[in-house]
Amino acid sequence: MIARTHDLAAISALVIVSLSMPIQEITLSTAIVAIVANLIGGVAPDIDQPTAPFWRNLPVGGYFGRIIAKMLGGHRFLTHSLLGAAILSYLVYLLLGFLRPIMGSVNIDIVWWAFVIGLMSHLVLDTFNKEGVPWLLPIPIKFGFPPLKAFRISTDSWVESWLVFPAIILIDILVVFANYQHILFLIHNKIM
């Protein structure tokens, strides 16, 4: 899937998980940092791809991207598995712990969870890809859904742009619709 689809899936997953949790107070700064972390998590597994937006936006990113991609075992390998997700999550946990003193009123735990939710949404979404995802590395089997490869989606295809992307938006609309009162309550009372 392309970055745009992953961004949308990450933020959708964050909204759905947040709405299903018991209501807690959250500062505006936490909400903003959490959304950024969520979007980064949503595209983070693709650091194993030299052409990923993350690398393209850096001055010599293509060069580093190729080296990192090789180290990570190529596209859709380590960073697209539960093991890789655990390692990435742990590294971000350490980084956030390091940044805690300068983060003020930002709730680091919520930010970390937002990152992990974005990360997991990436693996779930890529499971619908033709190539599948090696969820259980080091067991070198790629899993895909539906099990028949012919019914899965090619990255950047019209199916992704015109079926998957609109389908996620439709799910979002339904979720917002179903939780409308809850969302209004959150906006009025719980974001400080």
| Owner of token pair 């979720």 | 175
Restricted to residues 43-82, the positions that interact with Zn ion (CB under 5 A) are 45-46
> SS3 for 51?
coil
Least CB distance to Zn ion at residue 90 (A): 19
The residue length of the chain stands at 192
Region of 103-111, 118-126, 138-146, 159-167 interacting with Zn ion (CB under 5 A): 118-126
Q: Which is nearer to Zn ion, 30 or 127 (CB)?
A: 127
* 107-112 long-range Cβ contacts below 8 angstroms, 24+ apart: 107/26, 107/27, 107/30, 110/26, 110/30, 110/34, 111/30, 111/33, 111/34, 111/37, 112/37
Q: Does 7 bind Zn ion (CB under 5 A)?
A: no
- Between CA 134 and CA 20 the distance in angstroms is 29
Least CB distance to Zn ion at residue 76 (A): 6
x/- mask, Zn ion, residues 123-152, rule CB under 5 A, reads: ---x--------------------------
Least CB distance to Zn ion at residue 181 (A): 36
Least CB distance to Zn ion at residue 80 (A): 6
x/- mask, Zn ion, residues 20-49, rule CB under 5 A, reads: -------------------------xx---
| 1 contacts 127 by C-beta, under 8 angstroms | no
How many other CB atoms are found less than 10 A from the CB of residue 95? 12
- Between CA 141 and CA 139 the distance in angstroms is 6
Q: Which is nearer to Zn ion, 85 or 106 (CB)?
A: 85
Region of 13-21, 89-97, 119-127, 174-182 interacting with Zn ion (CB under 5 A): 119-127
Q: Which residues bind Zn ion (CB under 5 A)?
A: 45-46, 126
